[in-house]
Amino acid sequence: MSVSFAKSGTPPTQSWPVILETAGWSDYRLLDMGHGRKLERYGRYVIDRPEPQAMGTPRLDEAAWRKADGVFTGDTDEEGPGRWKFGGNVDETWNMAYGPARYVGRFMSFRHVGVFPEQAAHWDWVNGKVREEVARRGDRPMKILNLFGYTGLASLLPAANGAHVTHVDASKKAIGYARENQTLSGLDDLPIRWICEDASKFVAREVRRGSTYDGIILDPPKYGRGPKGEVWDIYVNLPEMLDNLRQLLSPDAVFMILTAYAIRSSFLSIHELMAETLKTQGGLLESGELVIREDKGARALSTSLFSRWSSR
């Protein structure tokens, strides 16, 4: 569907559903999926993890799955803890890369390994926007706010392309991992502010200060807690967060991206929320799903929902 409006100051052109696909890169491949699990390669390790969206039948035989270096077992809920079983000697951490960014893989208790590969579609899109805008602005810096920034790839990549980035995450450990990735990438001199704080509190304070940003990246969890026990519930807190973020968009703002891993929801839900929030911004608002294409296969795995706005 596409709905067009004539001029700026009116609701943006709306396009949905949009499917953004990642096929993988040298340090990542989706090898197989089915029966509620997915088999992936992260750098030198093959990993078997739960995936409720993988409802079909695996195409590889059981022997291929048994060769996995790490298998996550236990609670299959996205936010639930579990444990890893290893098929042999594996390192606690290992290094991978995407473009100029180097990052560390880790076997974490919530079945993650430090990177969400489906986000590569957004990384590439943002990088293109940043390069164009930095060239257009000359000496005027482009400012980006990355909320719930996790281990920092969505901060490092635009900073490497010339943006000034403010990275916010409530987890001191995640901030430490992001700084480690910055050093590993040889990008310590880049203009990135690393802030450990509850995202809602930070955004509200920035609104009071009259701060503005030219690009906003928002990747919230379904549920979470801030460093002082602040509760985040995407269904309760997201509308107020978006309203505050609208006030942080500069007059020359270029983009805003929202990703939601509440996959049981509909992309149309967050699309309508974004459309309501940005109803006078003009530009283009497109929403849909992020998917990963299976290696050497015809199938794709839906991982998350997104809605993103661009001014041009």
pLDDT band at 28 (very low <50, low <70, confident <90, very high): very high
Cα-based distances in Å from 35 to 24, 55, 250: 22, 5, 46
pLDDT digits (tens, 9 = 90+) for 154-185: 999 999 999 999 999 999 999 999 999 999 99
Higher pLDDT among residues 263 and 198, named by residue: 198
pLDDT band, very low/low/confident/very high, at 266 (cuts 50, 70, 90): confident
Position with higher pLDDT, 264 vs 250 = 250
Q: What percent of the chain has pLDDT over 90?
A: 81
pLDDT at 122 over 50: yes
H-assigned helices in 31-78: 62-66
Check whether 4 has a pLDDT greater than 50.
no
Indicate the domain borders of the chain.
2-23+116-310, 28-106
- pLDDT, one tens digit per residue, over 126-140 is 999 999 999 999 889
Q: Check whether 40 has a pLDDT greater than 80.
A: yes
Rounded-to-integer distance, Cα 138 and Cα 120, Å: 27
User: pLDDT at position 6, please?
Assistant: 37
pLDDT bracket for residue 8 (50, 70, 90): low
- Are 265 and 289 spatial neighbours (Cβ–Cβ below 8 Å)? no
Global pTM exceeds 0.85:
yes
- CATH assignment of 2-23+116-310, among 3.30.1490.150, 3.40.50.1370, 3.40.50.620, 3.40.50.150: 3.40.50.150
State yes or no: pLDDT of 2 exceeds 60: no
Per-residue model confidence (pLDDT) at position 77: 52
Measured in degrees and rounded to the nearest 5, phi and psi for residue 170 equal: -80, -15
Question: Confidence band (pLDDT; 50, 70, 90) for 80?
Answer: low
For the chain, the average pLDDT equals 92
Contacts of residue 215, defined as CB under 8 A and 6 or more positions apart, other chains included, come to: 126, 129, 130, 142, 143, 144, 145, 158, 163, 253, 254, 255, 256
Residue 299 dihedral angles phi and psi, to the nearest 5°: -90, 155
Pick the range with the lowest mean pLDDT from 187-191, 204-208, 265-269: 265-269
Is CATH 2.40.128.30 what the domain over 28-106 is classified as, yes or no?
no
